[in-house]
Amino acid sequence: MSLVVVGSVALDTVETPRGRVDDALGGAALYFALAASFFTPVRMVGVVGADFPRATLDELRRRGIDLAGVEEAPGKTFRWTGRYHEDVNVRDTLHLDLGVFATFRPKLPDSYRDSRNVFLANIDPLLQASVLDQLPAPRIIGCDTMNHWILESRPALEHLLARVGILVINDEEARLLSGERNIVKAAAKILSMGPTSVLIKRGEYGVIQFAGDSVFAVPAFPLEEVTDPTGAGDCFAGGFMGELTRSGDTSAAGIRRAIVYGSVMGSFVVEDFGPRRLLQLERADIDRRYRQFVSLTDIDGD
């Protein structure tokens, strides 16, 4: 199996109540790829500027991340500067420079064409659709989006959703997309737009999945400290799609286990600034935390 991800690659400067990091690796596609690479080889589609560190690209390749689809364009890499509050659910964007990302048009190299699984991280739905157009035989199509596209590009987004299998969004986006405040009603409406499954991220409360008549809820891992929440949702998606690609098991149980692996990856990344924790992570850490999730949720357990 093979997994393609398209989305942003960035250099982030982040301030949280726990400290600060400058020019950390960032962007949805990059967080996704790092998390998914623990489960399966990943093929990335994105763009970086001339200022993007070469050593980082080498490091990503060593981790089984294929960068054939990452264009190196003249100009500057997408840069984001943000500040999180004591309540880490609240953040301000202090500075945003799209750089080479402003004119990004995803192009899949021929070597990616046989990919079966794809994740369309949060970018313009027209660009997300153009990636699908370049894949002859996709099997599992995952997708993220955000308030901006829901409000500003609704027709393109609805057109895209009709082609998507699994939508991964947060609760606020689910409410905005559906026009329903209640999460059960919101999910039903979203499923009627196309996806067979919707995964709604609820931050420190975990994830709830709706698919047909089935509902699955998994709490977030209770952490003593969240150092930097950046990338949590993208690592969730990466762990989820990575495990699903590895196992090839799209049964209800297979999807549930993949959701837990996604939750595991989301719980790790927030323990340190940027992707630092992911870069130190070993496979055994992942399996240990998966077992902790089982114990955390097992009614007859412990």
Alpha carbon of 88 to those of 15, 16, 20, 175, 268: distances in Å?
11, 8, 14, 21, 15
- Selected from 110, 133, 282, 298, the binder of its own copies by CB under 8 A is 298
Count the site residues for its own copies by CB under 8 A: 38
**Least Å from the CB of residue 16 to its own copies:** 13
Q: Does 100 bind its own copies (CB under 8 A)?
A: no
DSSP secondary structure, 145-204, as one string = --HHHHHH-HHHHHHHHTT-SEEEEEHHHHHHHHT-SSHHHHHHHHHTTS-SEEEEE-GG
Binding mask 195-234 for its own copies (x = CB under 8 A): -------x-xxx-x-----xxxxxx--xxxxx--------
**Joined tokens for residue 105:** 């048009």
Q: Between residues 57 and 217, which has the closer beta carbon with respect to its own copies?
A: 217
User: Measured from the CB atom, is 45 or 269 closer to its own copies?
Assistant: 269
Positions in 131-190 near its own copies (CB under 8 A)? 181-185
Which residue lies nearer to its own copies by CB, 50 or 294?
Answer: 294
Q: Indicate the residue among 133 and 300 with the shorter CB distance to its own copies.
A: 300
Q: How far is the CB of 115 from its own copies (least distance, A)?
A: 28
User: Min. distance of Cβ 26 from its own copies in angstroms?
Assistant: 24
Three-class HEC string of 77-136? CEEEEEEECCCCCCEEEEEEECHHHHHCCCCCCHHHCCCCEEEECCCCHHHHHHHHHCCC
Structure tokens at 13: 């400067």
Rounded least distance, CB 277 to its own copies, Å: 17
Q: How far apart are CA 140 and CA 119, in angstroms?
A: 8
Min separation Cβ 151 and its own copies, Å = 21
Site for its own copies in 245-284 (CB under 8 A): 252-253, 256-257, 260
User: What's the distance, CA 77 to chain centroid?
Assistant: 19
Who contacts 271 (Cβ-Cβ below 8 Å, separation ≥6)? 223, 225, 226, 227, 277
Q: Cβ of residue 154: shortest distance to its own copies, in angstroms?
A: 23
Residues 36-95 that bind its own copies (CB under 8 A): 86-87
Residues in the chain: 302
Distance CA 201, CA 171 (A): 6
Contact footprint for its own copies (CB under 8 A) = 86-87, 181-185, 202, 204-206, 208, 214-219, 222-226, 252-253, 256-257, 260, 293-302
